[in-house]
Amino acid sequence: MKRAIFSVAISALLSTVFSSAIAHEAHVHGVGKLDVAIDGAEVTLHLNTPLMNLLGFEHAAKNSKDRAAAQKMAFRLRDAGRIFVTTPAAGCRAISVKLASNAINPILLGEPTTPPAAPEASAHGHADLDADFILQCSHPDLLESIDVSLFEKFKGFQKIDVQMVTQKKQLAVTLRPSATRISWE
């Protein structure tokens, strides 16, 4: 019963966080938003970031160079265990990765959907990437931290604002290239 109530609370909190992020936060180059929820053995992460941070551009990938860059970005992000490095003793592994952008063809992102007729950036030339990651941990009681290697893999990041909720606490931290660990124990 307690776990069911927590799951509902996490869903409501993340829905509020994600809705607020989409509706109210400005598109700022160099800045990413990462929401993290830990519920039992499952770690759910949602990354929202300008494509500029990942690709160095925000327009639709129309030529072979841009398409190759988009595919390389997606390949790196899909290796979630190297992007989000958890406490080794916790035995966490990625079980799901979903990537979406209004400017990049879903097929280039490795998504099994039919692409829209013509992906476009917003009217202001800005485009984001939304990425959802789910990790499953065999020993969640040993999970104490997550090292985020986005700064190392994608040089466009200057900071990442993190909001996190676990069954025991909530926290907000700002990651930078010199401080990449989320720790809560």
Q: Averaged over 73-86, what is the pLDDT?
A: 97
- C-alpha distances in Å from residue 177, one per residue of 30, 43, 126, 151: 11, 23, 24, 6
Tens of pLDDT, residues 117-154:
444 444 456 799 999 999 999 999 999 999 999 999 99
Query: Which domain range does residue 9 map to?
Result: 2-183
From residue 72, alpha-carbon distances to 20, 53, 108, 168 in Å are: 30, 14, 9, 37
Beta sheet of 84-86, edge-to-edge order:
84-86, 145-148, 181-183
The string of pLDDT tens digits covering residues 2-51 is 454 444 445 445 544 444 444 445 678 899 999 999 999 999 999 999 99
158, pLDDT greater than 50 = yes
Residue type at 175 in one-letter notation: L
83 φ/ψ angles, rounded to the nearest 5 degrees: -85, -45
The pTM (predicted TM-score) of the whole model is 0.82
The pLDDT value recorded for residue 25 is 56
Give the pLDDT confidence of 105-119 residue by residue, as tens digits: 999 999 986 545 444
- State the Cα–Cα distance between residues 84 and 133, nearest whole angstrom: 9
> Hey, what are 165's tokens?
């909720």
Average pLDDT (175-181) is 97
Average pLDDT over residues 87-114: 93
Mean pLDDT of the region 46-58: 95
pLDDT(87) > 70: yes
What does the pLDDT read at residue 114? 58
Helices (H), the chain: 2-24, 51-55, 64-78, 80-83, 150-153
157 closest CA partner among 64, 14, 9, 34: 34
Secondary structure, 3-state, 155-180: CCCCEEEEEEECCCCEEEEEEECCEC
pLDDT value of residue 92: 98
- What is the average per-residue pLDDT within 86-114? 93
> Is the predicted pLDDT of residue 60 greater than 50, yes or no?
yes
Q: Rounded to whole angstroms, how far apart are CA atoms 2 and 20?
A: 27
Per the model's pLDDT, the better-predicted residue between 53 and 17 turns out to be 53
Count of the separate structural domains present in the chain: 1
Average pLDDT rounded to a whole number, residues 88-95? 97
